Amino acid sequence: MSGDLPVFDRARRQVWPGLVDLHVHLDKGHILPRCPNPSADFEGALAAVRPDREVRWTDDDIRRRMDFALRCAYAHGTVALRTHLDTAQDDPERSWRALAPVRDAWAGRIAIEASALLPISHYGDIEYGRRIADMVARHGGVLGAVVYPDADADALLDRVFALAAERGLAVDMHVDETLDPSVDAVDRVLDALERTGFAGPVTLGHLCSLSSRPACEAERSMARIADLGVAVVSLPLCNLFLQDRVPGRSPRLRGVAPILELAAHGAAVSIASDNTRDPFHAYGDLDLIEVFRAAVRLGHLDLPVAPWPAAVTSTPAAVIGAGGGRIAVGATADLILFSARRFDELIARPQADRRIVRQGREIDAAAPDFSELDDLDDRA
């Protein structure tokens, strides 16, 4: 080690590489104070976000909320992330324009990759689909869609994969974010992959209905996911918040994808934050250790727990291709130093005393105060 770099005596305590958050929504983050979701369900979230986006999402508003969220993630130890950006028809490039200078400003601290977020039906307009794909390519992003039951789903999915193949883009889709066992859009996506022969990277997020579909059907789908080399990402905190929510009734189902079974089939499984402090998820702070601790408890990832830190480090790092997420000779010394010695200690406490090392030096790991955004809330 170079003589001017510090030496950390960890006394057999845990040291992790920097975290990689594969699925977040930076442009929606921290709008909850001005944009509540009275029903706290999925439809209520959609209804709440739309008018806020159309009226309040100026470049300055989006950039300030993005920067705030990134400072939170940085303080918690994140080194790379993929953010889904609302690519709405009224102004599809709105969030992309706002992200560009933020991404440049954060270069060297957090590597940021963006993915388009729009309903699969919007690709029904051929020219609009091309416009979106060209825009994503200009920004070095990932082509995306929200896939739900649609009579034209096969043709629409073929079009998405064709647009991505023509431009050399990866694809990331929101799929089956529901506990309705009759919803199996994931199989339509896999059919389209086989039909088109698309060879680029594909990531599927949510997959909640796999946990409620008949076991034999779910097993077939999961085996195909692994065989086709599709990466999957589970969003346990957001899905737990939204799924199986019925007024006046306690939830019966967890809403979390069958993580253990997906991994057993050989799929590359990541765990990520999803939404934070917005109508889709009222809580969260882009703290992947919080998400990991919850996932271990909710998904019974503790027998054994040892393989699962990869789901928030090396596995998503490989999907994004941004480096990081590993400890190795010659790798950048982006590390998290915990007081916990064993996994049971790490899961037992929030790990608020973690120390963050970036490029071999400890940083001030204080998250920003929420009051910084008070002036963006009409009711403040």
pLDDT digits (tens, 9 = 90+) for 283-296: 999 999 999 999 99
pLDDT at 377: 87
Q: Whole-prediction pTM value?
A: 0.96
pLDDT at 88: 83
Closest CA to 176 of 203, 206, 150: 206
pLDDT at 380: 45
Residue 344 inside a domain? The answer is: no
Residue 111: which residues within 8 A CB-CB, separation 6 or more? 79, 80, 81, 320, 322, 323, 324
pLDDT digits (tens, 9 = 90+) for 185-232: 999 999 999 999 999 999 999 999 999 999 999 999 999 999 999 999
pLDDT at 131: 97
Structural domain for 277, as ranges: 20-327
Q: What is the mean pLDDT of the chain?
A: 95
Residues present in the chain in total: 380
For residue 225, what is the domain's CATH number? 3.20.20.140
| Amino acid of residue 340 | A
User: Cα–Cα distances in Å, from 64 out to 45, 146, 164, 190?
Assistant: 22, 26, 31, 38
pLDDT band of residue 379 (cuts 50, 70, 90) is low
pLDDT digits (tens, 9 = 90+) for 298-324: 999 999 999 999 999 999 999 999 778
pLDDT at 376: 94
Is the pLDDT reported for residue 343 higher than 80? yes
pLDDT digits (tens, 9 = 90+) for 20-46: 999 999 999 999 999 999 999 999 999
Q: How many CB atoms lie within 10 A of CB 191?
A: 15
Residue 345 inside a domain? The answer is: no
pLDDT at 283: 97
Residue with tokens 């060879």: 199
Residue 175: which residues within 8 A CB-CB, separation 6 or more? 147, 185, 186, 189, 204, 205, 206, 207
The structural domain count of the chain equals 1
Burial annotation 154-182 (CB, 10 A radius, 16+ → b, else e): eebbbbbbbbbbeeebbbbbbbbbbbeee
Residue, of 140 and 323, whose pLDDT is higher? 140
Determine whether 177 is an active site residue. Answer: yes
pLDDT at 276: 98
- Using DSSP, state whether 73 is helix, strand or coil: helix
Residue 25 inside a domain? The answer is: yes
pLDDT at 9: 76
Residue 286 inside a domain? The answer is: yes
Residue 329: which residues within 8 A CB-CB, separation 6 or more? none
Is the pLDDT reported for residue 259 higher than 70? yes
pLDDT digits (tens, 9 = 90+) for 141-165: 999 999 998 999 999 999 999 999 9
pLDDT at 55: 93
Residue 295 inside a domain? The answer is: yes
- The CA-based diameter of the chain, rounded to the nearest angstrom, is 65
Which is the catalytic residue, given 113, 127, 166, 177? Answer: 177
Residue 24 inside a domain? The answer is: yes
Are 322 and 80 in contact by the 8 Å Cβ rule? The answer is yes
